[in-house]
Amino acid sequence: MSKKKKKHSKLNQAIRHYFGDEGFDEGIVRVDTATLTELAHTLGIIPDSWEKEELVRTFRRLWSDADIDIRQHIVAFFKAEGKLYLSDKPKEPAIERTEKIASILETMDVTKEEALLLHNAFIDIRTKKITPEKMASKLEHIRHEQKRAALEKKLDGHFDYEDRLEFNAVLSYNVLNATFKKIQPLKTSAFSYTYLDEGESEQLFKEISDAKEKMIAQKQQQLDAFLQTLDAHHPYLTPEQIVNALKSAPPGDAIDATDLSDELLLSVLNRDTAVEAVEQSAYDVILTVYTDMRLPFQEKTYPYRLTLTLPKERLVRSLWYGKPLGVKESVLGEKTRYERMFISELEHLVAECREHAKLLNFGDEELYEMVYTHLLAQLGDTLHITHKLTKKILYKFNQDIQQAVLKRQRQELLGRTIRDFKNLFPLAREMRRRLIFHVGPTNSGKTYQAMQALKNADTGYYLAPLRLLALEGYEGLKEMGIESSLVTGEEQIMSDEATHISSTIEMLNFEVDVDVCVIDEVQMLGDRDRGWAWANAIIGAPAKTIIMTGSPNAKEAVTALAEYLGEPLEIIEFERKNPLELMHRATPLSEIRPGTAVIAFSRKDVLRLKQQLSRNYSVSVVYGNLSPEVRREEARRFREGETELLIATDAIAMGLNLPIQTILFSRGDKFDGEQQRELLPSEIHQISGRAGRYGLHEKGFVGALKPDVLQVLQKHYHKPAKPITIPFSVMANLEHIKLVGSILEEESLSEILHFFVKNMQFDGPFRAANLETMDEAAAIVDHYRLDLPTKFHLACAPISTQSPYIVSAYERYIRALEQHKPVAYIPPSDLPDFAQTMEQLRDAEDRVKEISLYLWLSYRFAEYFVDAEKARNTRGILNRFIENSLKQSHFVPRCRLCTKPLPLNSQYNICQSCFNRQYKSGQRAAPRSDGSRSRGSRK
């Protein structure tokens, strides 16, 4: 039996003691609601409801899914309570079971005590599961445990889960004329299971006793050496403080880095540095210092709060050994750095304001005073001008100086705007185009037929919604013997002999005319962020025949576009090739069959489900933060049978053809970027359609992990998808941006985009797209001195503003462009074989995104981004690292301060104990596991 199974077995047996020898699932029902509520608070979990039924359901799931540490906490809770929850139901007779146990015992060489223990161990096991082999294995375990227990008693200690002997040693302290003894918990080195199992008890006792005494002597020697360094002339502590600190130190503290109270540490630090507050965590000392600085063109100083973090162990050890602490230097260094950063931010803000007000010829002092009018009222005590605050100040500043001018410029702009959007694509308008719409559900062959038409054309274009699908389209054309090129934002494989191009839809070249253009997943017209790309492609693709593929809810939208363009439209209906059945009951995790895909809607939920299911299945995962290469490899592993289950976000809904027989939804709602809402019928249809791939399964099945999720599916599954509505979003091109900028005399791309969205009007069913990501990127690039076309290209780059790492890399690249310097790609340092934590995995995912950004920029600014090949090679290394990491099953969420394991359903990334220490009285925001913050109590 493995060590892990032994630990689980011990905990299962321990909990039975409090539940009348019944299992956890049966006994927890008899616990009253108040006790269950107290247990929930102790574990730091928040159930969906505080009703007893929901609490029981939550703890059953937690006991079943949690790791060993969580089970230990639950057993410790009931042990501390000391109450037994016995069943009042009479036990069923176990005559047959007793007879079988007795018959097997007769064949075994056991003592009466061993026979009784074996009888008790198997009396509650189903008769057919009782075998001589299992009883023999149990006997071996009993004898081993008895041997261990005897050794523990004799050795006055106990073996931990790694088979190290834990024991309490009495260490002698002789310091500054004070002599006392303290108990110190110690551990020997680990002993192997075989050593303990096969060794003679007396020999084991002698050898382990020797190891124990050796460890005590070693620790006493270390303690004596440390105590000899302490004398009455200690530079920081009085003799009384030294003795009291050593006496009051809890067992387990490092011998030469004993913790000091916050008050004592504060008094020591205040001898040469004015520290306002000290706060200690397990690893850090956080100092708060209130200071001030003189702002440019200000008579008075401005007060602010400075916070800095120092490594705790190094600081405390230096203090005990009387070495220089360097706190004053650290504070002064941080103050200098902090103020220099603020002055840089302030100068940048003032420079922006000066640029906006260049026609008004403000002097420096007057300009600074105008900025201070709005800035100091909102700055607070942090001395940090954020991007958001910069936008606010610029907005108010512009309101102060430019309202009348801006109004006249807007009126002039509207009079000159090109209103008929289709005329922005002259090559497409010169051709007599024919539109064909392949409409139908997933697995109906609509895309296959479109690709056949593309294959038979002399020249063609395939427009994919994702880089992964563009690559698959390119490889499919190559396999057909068709010379092709691949064009995506970050990768271009060009062939001079190419007759066909496979491309992501945003990379469509409106100057290349072809015979056939296939536009895949045309229902994306309705997407809030990317729908403009499909509208632009349908309107402007220069092809004789445009073949669109999509779901039925796009029919009205495509028809409206055809009418606006005045071009003939042929609609070809497709039917699903095999049936899809909605299951009638929920499927718990324990009943999932191989060949199933479980759908979650966040990276956190995908990895949580992987952690649970990897105990019994081999698992592939697919979620949006993974690079296309890793998603493709994970899909391949599932497709080729290397893994049994696929856990994915709704990323699989678009174009991934996999041998999935059953789709199971883990929840019936999702966050759509603005709010948490129930799944839409169109989303349910698109995801569900991936089940039951034609040619592999006679039918597909759709279900859910929980009854409430199944109810959502049943409510929406048979509803038609809501038709895509008009007007359609279209994106401002560079010519539009330059036009607006010239009329407004505006170099701020952010201001131009805002104005474009609010004021541009078109003839036809269009509106200007409101691109949040582009707007956020524009707010960043506006801080740099770049021409408007460069800013526009940079703002179109694929960045995730939710990732501080990506934003930092993005800004580094922009600074290099501003300074006309080459941009080197900096690869990560040596990687381990796989990620040890979720944070390491996310860091690798972000680094792949950074490479995507670097390669995207390398195709637009090739003379500056000079390490494209190195970036591609590193991407391959990172992708292999992520793949290796996803094959592991060790991602247990842990407290970011003390590393204590967290409940799998915890929405926070610190434990209750750390929360109580750091976030008292609701004065600070508690970090959630997704990086956001909430106010007040976790309870």
pLDDT band at 689 (very low <50, low <70, confident <90, very high): confident
CB 569 within 8 A of CB 558: yes
Q: Is the pTM of this model over 0.75?
A: no
pLDDT band at 937 (very low <50, low <70, confident <90, very high): very low
- Evaluate if residue 163 carries a pLDDT over 80: yes
pLDDT tens readout for residues 859-913: 888 888 888 888 888 888 888 888 877 777 556 566 767 766 666 555 566 777 7
Quote the CA–CA distance of 937 and 908 in Å, as a whole number: 12
- Evaluate if residue 771 carries a pLDDT over 80: no
Q: What is the average pLDDT across 431-447? A: 90
- pLDDT for res 709: 92
Q: Which range has the top average pLDDT, 413-427, 547-561, 910-924?
A: 547-561
Report the DSSP pairing between strands 284-294 and 301-311.
antiparallel
Q: Where would I find the H helices in 659-771?
A: 681-688, 707-716, 734-744, 749-759
Q: What is the average pLDDT across 687-698? A: 75
Quote the CA–CA distance of 556 and 567 in Å, as a whole number: 15
- Which conformational region is residue 465 in: left (phi greater than 0), alpha (psi within -120 to 50 degrees), or beta? alpha
Q: What's at 691, amino acid-wise?
A: A
- pLDDT for res 705: 93
Query: In which residue are the tokens 């669109």 written?
Result: 548
* 232-238 CB contacts, 8 Å cutoff, 24+ apart: 232/176, 234/322, 235/322, 236/268, 236/271, 236/319, 236/322, 236/325, 237/268, 237/319
Of the given ranges (5-19, 108-122, 283-297, 619-633), which has the lowest mean pLDDT?
5-19
- pLDDT for res 367: 87
- Could you give the percent of the chain with pLDDT greater than 90? 21
The CA-based angle 807-812-817, given to 5 degrees, is 125
CB 583 within 8 A of CB 665: no
Taking the CA atoms of the chain, what radius of gyration do you get in angstroms? 34
Q: What's at 281, amino acid-wise?
A: S
- pLDDT for res 74: 86
Quote the CA–CA distance of 565 and 576 in Å, as a whole number: 31
Quote the CA–CA distance of 513 and 507 in Å, as a whole number: 14
- Evaluate if residue 439 carries a pLDDT over 90: yes
- pLDDT for res 260: 87
CB 369 within 8 A of CB 297: yes
CA distance readout (Å), 581 to 321, 461, 705, 706: 73, 36, 16, 17
Beta strands in 757-878 (DSSP E): 766-768
pLDDT tens readout for residues 128-150: 888 999 888 888 888 888 888 88
pLDDT band at 468 (very low <50, low <70, confident <90, very high): confident
Q: What is the average pLDDT across 842-848? A: 84
Q: Is the dihedral angle over the CA atoms 703, 707, 709, 710 positive or is it negative?
A: positive
Of the given ranges (81-85, 93-97, 333-337), which has the lowest mean pLDDT?
93-97
CA distance readout (Å), 558 to 438, 540, 652, 704, 903: 11, 14, 24, 33, 48
- pLDDT for res 655: 58
Quote the CA–CA distance of 252 and 238 in Å, as a whole number: 24
- pLDDT for res 890: 58
The CA-based angle 603-604-606, given to 5 degrees, is 65
- pLDDT for res 761: 62
The one-character DSSP state at 132 is: H
Q: What's at 101, amino acid-wise?
A: I
Quote the CA–CA distance of 252 and 171 in Å, as a whole number: 12
CB 887 within 8 A of CB 630: no
The CA-based angle 778-493-789, given to 5 degrees, is 25
Query: In which residue are the tokens 């701020």 written?
Result: 748
The one-character DSSP state at 668 is: S
